[in-house]
């Protein structure tokens, strides 16, 4: 697959944005332990609750090691269907 000029602009723009965002949060978290671990105690309750539920939900969704590549049956079927419809153009 050959990337054109616009693709490279998007990739480089994303990397610059991600590094700038990381730099902002590194400076902010460096202010102290309270800022690093508890975000300065400034987050609303619903955002903290959503984060806790999402963490618990992802920890309760095990990957079945008996399936090929660790995928569940539905994931393997989705990948096989996508491969059939898209052909071998994408590495699925």
Structural domains counted in the chain: 1
The predicted structure's pLDDT at residue 92 = 47
Report how far residue 92's alpha carbon sits from residue 89's, in angstroms, rounded to the nearest whole number.
9
In a domain, 22, yes or no: yes
3-state secondary structure of 87: coil
Token digits for 63?
């990957």
Q: Which helix H or strand E contains 8, and what residues bound it?
A: helix 5-29
Enclosing domain of residue 24:
1-40
In a domain, 79, yes or no: no
Contact 28, 35 (CB under 8 A): yes
pLDDT digit string, tens, across residues 1-55: 788 999 999 999 999 999 999 998 888 777 777 766 777 777 788 888 888 888 8
pLDDT digit string, tens, across residues 42-68: 778 888 888 888 887 766 665 555 555
């Amino acid at each position: 697959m050959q990337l054109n000029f616009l693709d490279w602009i998007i990739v480089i723009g994303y990397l610059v944005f991600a590094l700038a965002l990381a730099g902002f949060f590194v400076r902010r978290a460096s202010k102290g332990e309270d800022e690093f671990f508890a975000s300065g105690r400034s987050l609303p309750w619903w955002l903290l609750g959503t984060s806790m539920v999402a963490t618990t939900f992802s920890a309760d969704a095990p990957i079945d090691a008996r399936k090929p590549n660790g995928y569940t049956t539905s994931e393997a079927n989705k990948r096989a269907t996508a491969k059939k419809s898209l052909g071998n153009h994408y590495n699925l």
